[in-house]
């Protein structure tokens, strides 16, 4: 199988990752529960992973790295734990349902008000389009770093400057970029960074989290056992415990730590450049084929390693099925949980076929995919 569905989850991980998970399963007790060898064997890799993520994202401290099951949980925590009734939020049409649905819920339940920055004809959302929506009652800007459908990147450094100047909380969904594009919370003025572990970070499924900027207060989402302050009726105040009720996915986090170490060693730039090269090679190969429509702006701007396309009026699910069955190429069709982006692109009914690349893909993978698209378009 040629796996080009890396925006859903990366299939190939650095070999250290599975090794770290297996080691954890053989040696780990329950992190932060007890002081015997097994409990310490659990606490160490969990802490090491916080340190590695702090370094990767320039978070204020390892204790400001909170683990969750996935980016969706991180976004639910960030959104529901900071917004108050009547707050206005600026977000974008590029967002995934993991941002949209928590916001729609607060709109319905708490009277939070929403404004959506629309993409231009190329599918790009500019910082000035976001800035134009800010009002006196705006409390936060929430946006994705890159569209999971088209790979379009939002210039979060510029948005962060706007947020800082207006004293707004800036929440970033880095699901499609963490590990492949540079993210510097401090320099970019990010208040809360939400990430998943199993995509560009190349860690196990069941991992993700949020990095919390200095002075940002988030109310607990879940409450429960914390291993400390057991006699308090409420969740302990200190991060990360405030947001981490219950036993962590210690086994998965050990694997994520190994993955992030690998990324730090390899370098985000080297990874990103390789992914970009593969994505552009594929784009160059398919963009001129008659009957193929590629979505998004490939004019040279930095983007995530995603190419979404359609072949004539063929249903995207049908194309993806043929690619899988006749060519052994894994892609993803349909809506990709990005409803507003499909509305903007006019692809609500057809969906789109998404090809997404990872560090471990090869030029041959891209070429095989180009060839398959060509045959389908000619067929």
Of residues 235 through 254, those in contact with a copy of itself by CB under 8 A are: 235, 245-252
Q: Does 111 bind a copy of itself (CB under 8 A)?
A: no
**Among 149, 141, 148, CA closest to 189:** 141
Give every strand in the sheet of 88-92, ordered side by side. Answer: 65-68, 208-212, 192-196, 169-173, 138-144, 88-92, 113-117
45 vs 213, beta carbon nearer a copy of itself: 45
Alpha helices, DSSP H, located in the chain? 15-27, 37-57, 71-80, 97-110, 127-131, 156-166, 185-188, 250-266, 268-287, 316-327, 339-345, 363-378
Q: How far is the CB of 315 from a copy of itself (least distance, A)?
A: 12
CB atoms within 10 A of CB 328: 12
**C-alpha–C-alpha distance, residues 161 and 39, integer Å:** 43
User: In a 3-state reduction of DSSP, which class is residue 161?
Assistant: helix
317 vs 377, beta carbon nearer a copy of itself: 317
CB atoms within 10 A of CB 178: 28
**How far is the CA of 199 from the CAs of 129, 144, 330, 356, in angstroms?**
29, 15, 15, 11
Q: Does 147 bind a copy of itself (CB under 8 A)?
A: no
Selected from 27, 115, 126, 371, the binder of a copy of itself by CB under 8 A is 27
Q: Which stretch binds a copy of itself (CB under 8 A): 51-59, 71-79, 124-132, 184-192?
A: 71-79
Q: Does 70 bind a copy of itself (CB under 8 A)?
A: yes
Q: Does 115 bind a copy of itself (CB under 8 A)?
A: no
Q: Which stretch binds a copy of itself (CB under 8 A): 27-35, 86-94, 284-292, 294-302?
A: 27-35
Q: How far is the CB of 83 from a copy of itself (least distance, A)?
A: 14
Number of residues that bind a copy of itself (CB under 8 A): 87
Q: How far is the CB of 164 from a copy of itself (least distance, A)?
A: 28
Q: Which stretch binds a copy of itself (CB under 8 A): 7-15, 47-55, 150-158, 293-301?
A: 7-15
User: What string of DSSP letters covers 22-67?
Assistant: HHHHHH---TTS-SSHHHHHHHHHHHHHHHHHHHHHT-S-GGGEEE
Show the binding pattern over residues 269-298: x = contacts a copy of itself (CB under 8 A), - = does not.
------------------------------
Q: Which stretch binds a copy of itself (CB under 8 A): 37-45, 162-170, 182-190, 363-371?
A: 37-45
DSSP 133: T
Selected from 198, 274, 303, 374, the binder of a copy of itself by CB under 8 A is 198
**C-alpha–C-alpha distance, residues 31 and 50, integer Å:** 13
Q: How far is the CB of 136 from a copy of itself (least distance, A)?
A: 27
147 vs 320, beta carbon nearer a copy of itself: 320
Site for a copy of itself in 164-193 (CB under 8 A): none
Q: Does 368 bind a copy of itself (CB under 8 A)?
A: no
User: What string of DSSP letters covers 214-250?
Assistant: TT-----SS----SS-TT-SS--SSTTGGG--S---H
Site for a copy of itself in 293-352 (CB under 8 A): 317, 320-321, 323-324, 328-339, 342, 348
Selected from 224, 265, 302, 363, the binder of a copy of itself by CB under 8 A is 224
**C-alpha–C-alpha distance, residues 351 and 336, integer Å:** 8
Selected from 136, 233, 346, 364, the binder of a copy of itself by CB under 8 A is 233
18 vs 118, beta carbon nearer a copy of itself: 18
CB atoms within 10 A of CB 120: 11
Q: Which residues contact 46 (CB under 8 A, 6 or more apart)?
A: 31, 32, 67, 248, 250, 253, 254, 257
Question: Residue length, the chain?
Answer: 379
Site for a copy of itself in 72-101 (CB under 8 A): 72-73, 75-76, 96-101
Q: Does 217 bind a copy of itself (CB under 8 A)?
A: no
């Amino acid at each position: 199988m040629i796996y080009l569905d890396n925006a859903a989850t990366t299939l190939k991980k650095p070999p250290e990752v599975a090794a770290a998970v297996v080691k954890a399963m053989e040696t780990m007790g329950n992190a932060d529960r007890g002081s015997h060898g097994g409990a310490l064997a659990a606490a160490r890799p969990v802490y090491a992973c916080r340190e590695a993520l702090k370094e990767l994202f320039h978070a204020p401290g390892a204790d400001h790295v909170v683990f969750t099951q996935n980016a969706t949980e991180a976004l639910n925590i960030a959104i529901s734990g900071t917004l108050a009734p009547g707050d206005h939020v600026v977000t974008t049409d590029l967002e995934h349902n993991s941002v949209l649905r928590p916001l729609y819920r607060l709109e319905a339940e708490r009277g939070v008000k929403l404004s959506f920055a629309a993409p231009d004809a190329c599918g790009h959302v500019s910082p000035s389009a976001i800035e134009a929506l800010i009002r006196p009652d705006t409390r936060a800007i929430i946006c994705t770093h890159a569209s999971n459908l088209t790979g379009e990147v939002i210039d979060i450094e510029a948005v962060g400057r706007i947020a800082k100047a207006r004293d707004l909380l800036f929440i970033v969904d880095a699901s499609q970029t963490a590990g492949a594009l540079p993210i510097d919370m401090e320099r970019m003025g990010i208040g809360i960074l939400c990430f998943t572990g199993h995509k560009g970070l190349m860690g196990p499924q069941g991992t993700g989290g949020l990095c919390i900027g200095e002075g940002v207060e988030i109310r607990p989402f879940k409450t429960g056992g914390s291993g400390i302050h057991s006699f308090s009726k409420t969740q302990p105040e200190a991060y990360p415990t405030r947001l981490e009720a219950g036993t962590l996915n210690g086994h998965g986090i050990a694997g994520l730590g190994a993955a992030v170490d690998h990324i730090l060693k390899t370098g985000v730039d080297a990874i990103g450049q390789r992914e970009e090269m593969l994505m552009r090679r594929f784009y160059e190969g398919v963009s001129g084929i008659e009957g193929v429509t590629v979505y998004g702006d490939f004019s040279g701007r930095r983007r995530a390693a995603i190419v979404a396309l359609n072949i004539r009026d063929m249903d995207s699910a049908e194309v993806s099925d043929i690619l899988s069955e006749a060519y052994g190429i894994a892609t993803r069709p349909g809506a990709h949980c990005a409803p507003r982006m499909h509305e903007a692109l006019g692809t609500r009914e057809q969906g789109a076929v998404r090809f997404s690349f990872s560090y471990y893909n090869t030029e041959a993978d891209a070429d095989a995919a180009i060839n398959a698209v060509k045959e389908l378009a000619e067929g």
